[in-house]
Chains A and B, each alone.
Chain A
Amino acid sequence: AQSVTQLGSHVSVSEGALVLLRCNYSSSVPPYLFWYVQYPNQGLQLLLKYTTGATLVKGINGFEAEFKKSETSFHLTKPSAHMSDAAEYFCAVSDLTSSASKIIFGSGTRLSIRP
């Protein structure tokens, strides 16, 4: 069965610093992976997704993630944090064992930005 684990429920970085949010997945088949962002009092919004092909995926707002099969990881990065990046971030994987086409979400990482 597919699953995702997000390391760190809360990450704090200074404005302008590198953002690194960690996600590891478990899957018996090639995975489809997603990163979502949730700003305060809003729904989840897709940042980026990995399906097939290029392992470095670029998303919105300057974020990118690299699919590393050997490490079963899909970490999210941004070179320079901005105050507006403060939000909760969810890593997710498609549950390909389910006929319901569900997506399995990680528990989330709250990103805080220090001025």
Chain B
Amino acid sequence: NAGVTQTPKFRVLKTGQSMTLLCAQDMNHEYMYWYRQDPGMGLRLIHYSVGEGTTAKGEVPDGYNVSRLKKQNFLLGLESAAPSQTSVYFCASRRGQGGSYEQYFGPGTRLTVT
């Protein structure tokens, strides 16, 4: 199993450009999450999905959109990138609603917006 994979690994955008980050998992997990990680701020939840076709907002959803058309994929979109969105983005998946289930993380996407 590849686990959780993220594409791309690195990206540089100019202000106002758009892009989509792809997350894929091969563990048949129901739940998927997008986080951003910034120095001194830990992990902050952007959006999440509790199943195919569902999405919901996390702590910091502004400026991002998501889609979960297939169970194994969770896409994060930036419609008009801003320098404040410079960050490292992590995708995670979780088997289901049980509290004992851990999250599995991807390797991250490092995004710079100039």
Contacts and interface: CB of A to CB of B under 8 A. Distances in A.
Interface of A: 32, 34, 36, 41-46, 49, 51-52, 90, 94, 96, 99-103, 105-108
Interface of B: 4, 31, 33, 41-43, 45, 48, 50, 56, 58, 90, 92, 94, 96-108
A111 to B, nearest CB: 15
B50 A43 contact: no
B45 A102 contact: yes
A42 B48 CA distance: 21
A101 B30 CA distance: 10
Contacts of B104: 46
B42 A100 contact: no
A45 B99 CA distance: 17
A99 to B, nearest CB: 7
Contacts of B97: 99, 101
5 contacts: A44-B90, A44-B105, A90-B43, A103-B102, A108-B42
A11 to B, nearest CB: 16
A100 B48 contact: yes
Given A105-B43, A108-B42, A100 B105 contact: no
Nearest to B101: A101
Contact of B31 (A41, A51, A90, A101): A101
Contacts of B98: 101
A106 B48 CA distance: 19
Contacts of A90: 42-43
A49 B100 contact: yes
Nearest to A108: B42
A107 B108 CA distance: 18
B100 A51 contact: yes
Given A100-B48, A101-B101, A103-B103, A42 B108 contact: yes
Contact of B50 (A32, A42, A99, A105): A99
